[in-house]
Each structure stands twice: as structure tokens, then as C-alpha cells.
Amino acid sequence: MWFVNSQLKQQRLEICKGCEHYSSVGTCGTPVIGNEVEVNDEVLHTCGCIMTVKTSLASEHCPLGKWSSERLSKVDGCALKDFILSLDEYHVTNEQLQKLFAYKSQISGRAEQVTTCPSCVKDLIENLKKQVRNLEC
């Protein structure tokens, strides 16, 4: 499933429209490039996406953690949150690496290649932490 149903799209879009970073042209921050913003003492980056498009895609999430990807059930999302918050991003075992990329594949809807590139793994962990940060379990 590439797209969410119209009700979920509308819910996501309403969340975006209520956000202080939603622009008058319908994007999340500055169109295309986004902006750095501070949320709860953390510097994040708005995406610059056209929100009527982004909110319809099942694999997408809010970069500020206000809504998440639809590819994970709540149970899977909570399991991912527990797993990702338990990781030491500077020491990831091979088993953890395999699990990490299995989650990435599930979220993206495509088979993701496992990599041992330290900066790639660190970026993936940081990205997944942002996605699950506000998930209520």
C-alpha cells in the first residue's frame, strides 16, 4: 500500500495546518529546503515538502514527530521505539544491525540493503528515533 486512506490523509494534513511551521504555500517550512527549528530543546529540520502530497504517502512521517509512517502497526511502532531507544549508536551488533534494516525496509516498503557504514547507521538510528519519539505506547 503506497497511499493512506483519505481520512488519515486529512488527519495528517490538519495536524500540519495547525503547526507553526506550516507555510502559506502549503509546505512544511521553506519550500524544498525546509528550515532548522528548535523543538523541546532539540534542533530539528522541517522537510520543505508539499504537504498535500506528503500526507497521502504511507511511508512518510513528520520530521518534527507530529505523525508517523503508516507502514508500522502501533505494536510494531512501540517495539521499534523500545528497540531504537535501547541502542548505543556507537556500538551496534550484527544482530541489531539486521533488525535495524528490517525495520527500515518495513517502513520504506522496499528491501533495504544492510550497510556497516558508521555514519549511515548513525543517521538511520537518529532518523528512526525522531520518527518514534512522540509515539505513545
* CA atoms of 51 and 129, how far apart (whole Å): 22
Q: What is the pLDDT of residues 8-57, one digit of tens each?
A: 999 999 999 999 999 999 999 999 999 999 887 888 899 999 999 999 99
Q: Spell out the SS3 assignment of the chain.
A: CCECCHHHHHHHHHHHHCCCCECCCCEECCCCCCCEEEECCEEEECCCCEHHHHCCECCCCCCCCCCCCCCCCHHHHHHHHHHHHHCECCECCHHHHHHHHHHHHHHHCCCCCCCCCHHHHHHHHHHHHHHHCCCCC
User: What's the whole-model pTM score?
Assistant: 0.61
